């Protein structure tokens, strides 16, 4: 039976019941089932109760094109070519049961539509049966309005999917406009792309905490395709894919986002919308060259790599350090700063490898095989253990020279190395001498320099300190091969050590602000809503409430001689710059989530800025930390939660948590009269 009226007619002919009574029972049956059954379905049930068996014909399937589809259609038969495939996800229904949903997009000559697959039908995605570019026929689907208010096709229990159908409509499907690009052609303006490549390096997944308190996960890999190499970040559920991958495997990334990375090189990010296919049956996979066992560049080194090869040049050597293990045995470690044309990295040589490191000379090339990495204070650190092999100045291995990176003062961040900065001198201090822990003498002088983006303090050590006697306010200086560290006020500052260079009044074509302009107070930045923050490197002022405090160690250690952050806990008293064992100085550090009603952002405060907010000296923070090993209890004593503050700082993109944060340079408490006046001026404007 294809119509309700025909069903009613048959029941009335075969059963002793009036039409009014039959219609009442059908409506009652619909009410009993909560309205989830059609009149035809209710008629079949009532007919069966009256001894009349009705056989309901399958609904007529309508052969349509995508432009014909509108909401509320059912029994749809459509043919299309797959243009995008998205991994299924699980969700919890209102009744507490688990469901699954996945999606894809298809196109024909008339348009494109999103297709949603529910529950068991998602296995077609999980098993890789639905592939991008293939033609499929979907029968028995229904159309609903999607979140974007556009029609979307739903594939449920009664629907079917036919692969490479013989339907005549399949012959008219347009070819897929392939989004797959070569690594050498990646550009941030491409947005979402597909990339096929071979895995050259992998890092283990690691977890991190987001400002909203949720836990995230990220893993990284390096892909090559013969045209180049690219760094890939896999987020959350996609990070779980990494343990199944081995170096040399071919992977296809679908729906990956292209974003700028270090030095604005393109990187790929794969989130929930992304898809990873391991060793796909893609004809182009066979054309990707085999993995060449080449050493990594330093810019490709990530934290938590289990095995990597690295070729680099010795930039600095630190002294050999002996330590005691927990079992009472002795060990040795020696740290070396390595460099290539892409950057610098610290390497710790342990045990027998420490003897090799001791014999190295500045400028030597080292080829390290089977090392591993860990996360350090300023990024990944390379560890050379017993399983590693080290070759010194091997034949046929060359390493590019590290050239200083030119930056503006406003772009300065702590932990940067090999920097070149041009600025005008605002202030010069006298050279002073100091005694090191080993009794040797040292010299230091300080400058304040500025450009159109801001000012910073520069420390000149030992031989470089003599330049202070040749300078005066108003001079122009070019600083090369400098490094940056966190100063007492929590701001990044420049240091010129043994490898640093300084030119006084070099010939330059660009104009710099005059010293009297730079020495004036910098105009306060614009106060913005957090929701309006979109990019890094912007100096802003925010007013909001501390709604969450991150319970981290509220201190970090620096060398008292040069200000550089010290290394990992295994040799935390060893200063890389000074090459000496020192007694560290502590600096306070805080991080919390600031909310202003429009959004939230993580704020980080260092040094005196953190002290000012806490109302405590660093020594008091240290004493409180040592006396209260429970961080929850310690931070409750700090009484930060719920406080309203005004923060001034610079936005910075944290590549590991994939979000903006604020590096705070000034902190204040809202003053009612001033805030009211500012609000009044804003209203008038």
Q: What is the CATH classification number for the domain harbouring 164?
A: 2.40.50.140
E strand residue ranges, 271-388? 275-278, 308-317, 321-324, 330-340, 343-350, 365-376, 379-384
Question: Residue 360: pLDDT band by 50, 70, 90 thresholds?
Answer: very high
Paired tokens of 503: 């030119």
Question: Residue 570: pLDDT band by 50, 70, 90 thresholds?
Answer: very low
Say whether both 513 and 431 belong to one domain: yes
Say whether both 44 and 67 belong to one domain: no
pLDDT given for residue 567 in this prediction: 44
Alpha-carbon distance values, 15 to 21, 25, 42, 53, 529 (Å): 12, 14, 16, 11, 73
Paired tokens of 210: 């987001």
Lowest mean pLDDT among 94-103, 415-424, 519-528, 621-630: 519-528
Q: State phi, psi for 421 to the nearest 5 degrees.
A: -135, 135
Cα dihedral 27→28→29→35 (10° resolution): 70
216 within a domain of the structure (yes/no): yes
* DSSP H or E stretch at residue 9: helix 4-14
177 within a domain of the structure (yes/no): no
Mean pLDDT computed over 633-645: 90
pLDDT given for residue 356 in this prediction: 93
Say whether both 261 and 319 belong to one domain: no
Say whether both 536 and 643 belong to one domain: yes
Paired tokens of 286: 């066979």
> What does the alpha-carbon distance between residue 316 and residue 567 come to, in Å, rounded to a whole number?
14
Q: Tell me: pLDDT of 614 over 70.
A: yes
> What does the alpha-carbon distance between residue 238 and residue 255 come to, in Å, rounded to a whole number?
12
Mean pLDDT computed over 70-81: 86
pLDDT given for residue 521 in this prediction: 45
Answer for the pair 380, 302: CB distance below 8 angstroms, yes or no.
yes
Of the candidates 323, 238, 311, the one whose C-alpha atom is nearest the C-alpha of residue 274 is: 238
Of the candidates 473, 443, 468, 470, the one whose C-alpha atom is nearest the C-alpha of residue 455 is: 473
Q: State phi, psi for 495 to the nearest 5 degrees.
A: -130, 135
Say whether both 320 and 437 belong to one domain: no
Residue with tokens 């043994």: 498
The size of the chain, in residues, is 685
Does 415 or 164 have the greater pLDDT score? Answer: 164
Say whether both 567 and 628 belong to one domain: yes
User: For 145-178, how does the pLDDT look when each residue is reduced to its tens digit (9 = 90+)?
Assistant: 887 788 899 988 888 888 888 888 888 888 876 6
400 within a domain of the structure (yes/no): no
Answer for the pair 593, 204: CB distance below 8 angstroms, yes or no.
no
> What does the alpha-carbon distance between residue 400 and residue 390 come to, in Å, rounded to a whole number?
19
pLDDT given for residue 390 in this prediction: 93
Mean pLDDT computed over 341-359: 89
566 within a domain of the structure (yes/no): yes
Q: Tell me: pLDDT of 590 over 80.
A: yes
Answer for the pair 652, 663: CB distance below 8 angstroms, yes or no.
yes
Domain boundary pick from 368, 392, 416: 392
Mean pLDDT computed over 469-477: 89
pLDDT given for residue 544 in this prediction: 92
299 within a domain of the structure (yes/no): no
E strand residue ranges, 177-240? 192-202, 206-209, 215-224, 229-235
Lowest mean pLDDT among 238-252, 564-578, 612-626: 564-578
> What does the alpha-carbon distance between residue 37 and residue 626 come to, in Å, rounded to a whole number?
68
Q: Tell me: pLDDT of 557 over 60.
A: yes
Paired tokens of 373: 């990495």
Angle between helices 39-49 and 4-14 (to 10 degrees): 10
Burial of 201 from C-beta contacts in 10 A (0-12 / 13-18 / 19+): buried
User: For 435-472, how does the pLDDT look when each residue is reduced to its tens digit (9 = 90+)?
Assistant: 766 677 888 888 889 888 888 889 888 888 888 888 89
β 419-428/441-451 pair status: antiparallel
User: For 364-412, how does the pLDDT look when each residue is reduced to its tens digit (9 = 90+)?
Assistant: 999 998 888 887 655 788 999 877 889 999 998 999 988 878 888 877 8
Mean pLDDT rounded to a whole number for the chain: 82
Does 155 or 303 have the greater pLDDT score? Answer: 155
Answer for the pair 304, 222: CB distance below 8 angstroms, yes or no.
no
Say whether both 443 and 573 belong to one domain: no
141 within a domain of the structure (yes/no): yes
pLDDT given for residue 306 in this prediction: 73
295 within a domain of the structure (yes/no): no
Q: Which DSSP category does 307 fall into?
A: S
Q: Tell me: pLDDT of 118 over 80.
A: yes
How many structural domains are present in the chain?
6
Residue 648's DSSP bridge partners are 541, 666
Say whether both 557 and 603 belong to one domain: yes
Paired tokens of 595: 């909310």
pLDDT given for residue 286 in this prediction: 79
Residue with tokens 């590991």: 656
pLDDT given for residue 542 in this prediction: 92
Percent over 70 (pLDDT), the chain: 87
Q: CA angle, 48 as apex, 45 and 53 as ends, to 5°?
A: 115
Paired tokens of 81: 């070519």
Say whether both 435 and 574 belong to one domain: no
Percent over 90 (pLDDT), the chain: 11
User: For 264-297, how does the pLDDT look when each residue is reduced to its tens digit (9 = 90+)?
Assistant: 678 888 887 788 888 887 777 778 888 777 788 8
Burial of 113 from C-beta contacts in 10 A (0-12 / 13-18 / 19+): buried
pLDDT given for residue 592 in this prediction: 92
Q: Tell me: pLDDT of 62 over 80.
A: no
Domain span at 417: 405-519
Question: Residue 134: pLDDT band by 50, 70, 90 thresholds?
Answer: confident
Residue with tokens 């209710």: 42
Say whether both 132 and 189 belong to one domain: no
Contacts of 408 (CB under 8 A, 6+ apart): 421, 451, 452, 453
> What does the alpha-carbon distance between residue 574 and residue 332 come to, in Å, rounded to a whole number?
13
> What does the alpha-carbon distance between residue 59 and residue 57 come to, in Å, rounded to a whole number?
6
Cα dihedral 158→164→166→170 (10° resolution): 100
Lowest mean pLDDT among 110-119, 320-329, 348-357, 364-373: 320-329
Q: Tell me: pLDDT of 524 over 70.
A: no
672 within a domain of the structure (yes/no): yes
Say whether both 413 and 475 belong to one domain: yes
Contacts of 350 (CB under 8 A, 6+ apart): 331, 332, 333, 383, 384, 385, 386
pLDDT given for residue 349 in this prediction: 93
User: For 239-271, how does the pLDDT look when each residue is reduced to its tens digit (9 = 90+)?
Assistant: 888 888 888 899 988 888 888 776 567 888 888
Question: Residue 572: pLDDT band by 50, 70, 90 thresholds?
Answer: very low
Neighbours of 477 (CB within 10 A): 19
Say whether both 601 and 556 belong to one domain: yes
Neighbours of 420 (CB within 10 A): 15
Mean pLDDT computed over 512-539: 76
């Amino acid at each position: 039976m294809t119509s309700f009226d025909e069903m009613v007619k048959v029941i009335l002919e075969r059963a002793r019941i009036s039409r009014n009574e039959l219609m009442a029972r059908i409506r009652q049956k619909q009410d009993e089932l909560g309205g989830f059954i059609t009149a035809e379905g209710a008629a079949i049930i009532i007919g069966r109760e009256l001894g009349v068996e009705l056989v309901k014909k399958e609904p007529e399937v309508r052969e349509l094109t995508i432009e014909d589809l509108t909401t509320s259609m059912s029994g749809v038969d459509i043919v299309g070519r797959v243009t995008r495939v998205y991994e299924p996800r699980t969700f919890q229904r209102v009744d507490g049961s688990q469901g699954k949903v996945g999606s894809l997009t298809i196109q024909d000559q008339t348009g494109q539509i999103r297709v949603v697959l529910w529950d068991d039908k998602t296995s077609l995605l999980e098993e890789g049966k639905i592939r991008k570019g293939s033609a499929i026929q979907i029968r028995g689907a229904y159309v609903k309005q999607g979140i974007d208010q556009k029609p979307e096709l739903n594939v449920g229990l009664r629907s079917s999917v036919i692969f490479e159908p013989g339907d005549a409509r399949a012959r008219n499907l347009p070819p897929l406009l392939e989004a797959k690009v070569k690594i050498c052609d990646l550009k941030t303006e491409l947005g979402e792309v597909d990339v096929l490549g071979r895995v050259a390096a992998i890092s283990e997944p690691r977890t991190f905490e987001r400002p909203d308190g949720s836990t995230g996960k990220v893993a990284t890999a390096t892909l090559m395709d013969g045209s180049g190499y690219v760094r890939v970040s896999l987020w959350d559920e996609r990070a779980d894919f990494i343990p199944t991958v081995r170096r040399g495997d071919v992977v296809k990334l679908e729906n990956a986002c292209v974003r700028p990375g270090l030095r604005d090189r393109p990187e790929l990010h794969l989130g929930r919308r992304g898809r990873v296919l391991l060793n796909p049956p893609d004809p182009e996979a066979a054309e990707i060259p085999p993995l060449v066992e080449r050493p990594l560049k330093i810019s490709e080194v990530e934290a938590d790599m289990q095995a990597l090869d690295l070729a680099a040049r010795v930039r600095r050597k630190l002294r050999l350090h002996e330590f005691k293990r927990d079992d009472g045995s002795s060990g040795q470690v020696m740290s070396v700063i390595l460099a290539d044309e892409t950057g610098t990295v610290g390497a710790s040589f342990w045990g027998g490898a420490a003897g090799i490191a001791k014999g190295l000379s500045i400028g030597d090339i080292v080829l390290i095989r089977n090392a591993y990495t860990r996360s350090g204070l300023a990024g990944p650190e390379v560890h050379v253990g017993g399983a590693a092999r080290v070759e010194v100045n091997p034949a046929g291995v060359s390493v590019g020279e590290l050239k200083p990176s030119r930056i503006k003062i406003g772009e300065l961040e702590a932990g940067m190395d090999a920097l070149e900065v041009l600025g005008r001198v605002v202030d010069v201090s006298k050279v002073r001498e100091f005694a090191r822990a080993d009794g040797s003498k040292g010299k230091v002088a300080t400058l304040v320099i500025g450009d159109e983006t801001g000012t910073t303090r520069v420390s000149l050590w030992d031989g470089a300190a003599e330049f202070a006697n040749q300078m005066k306010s108003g001079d122009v200086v070019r600083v090369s091969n400098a490094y940056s560290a966190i100063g007492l006020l929590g701001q990044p500052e420049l240091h010129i050590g043994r490898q640093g260079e300084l030119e006084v009044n070099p010939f330059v074509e660009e104009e710099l602000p005059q010293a009297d302009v730079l020495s004036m107070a910098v105009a306060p930045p614009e106060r913005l809503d957090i929701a309006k923050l979109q990019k890094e490197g912007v100096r802003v002022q925010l007013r909001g409430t501390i709604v969450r405090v991150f319970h981290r160690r509220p201190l970090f250690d620096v060398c008292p001689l040069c200000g550089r952050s010290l290394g990992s806990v295994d040799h935390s008293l060893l200063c890389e710059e000074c090459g000496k064992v020192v007694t560290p100085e502590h600096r306070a550090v805080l991080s919390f989530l600031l909310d202003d009603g429009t959004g939230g952002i993580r704020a980080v405060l260092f040094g005196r800025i953190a002290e000012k907010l806490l109302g405590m000296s660093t020594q008091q923070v240290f004493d409180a930390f040592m006396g209260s090993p429970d961080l929850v209890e310690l931070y409750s004593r700090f009484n930060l939660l719920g406080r309203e503050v005004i923060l001034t700082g610079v936005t910075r993109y944290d590549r590991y948590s994939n979000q903006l944060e604020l590096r705070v340079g000034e902190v204040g408490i809202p003053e009612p009269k001033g805030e009211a006046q500012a609000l009044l001026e804003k209203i008038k404007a």
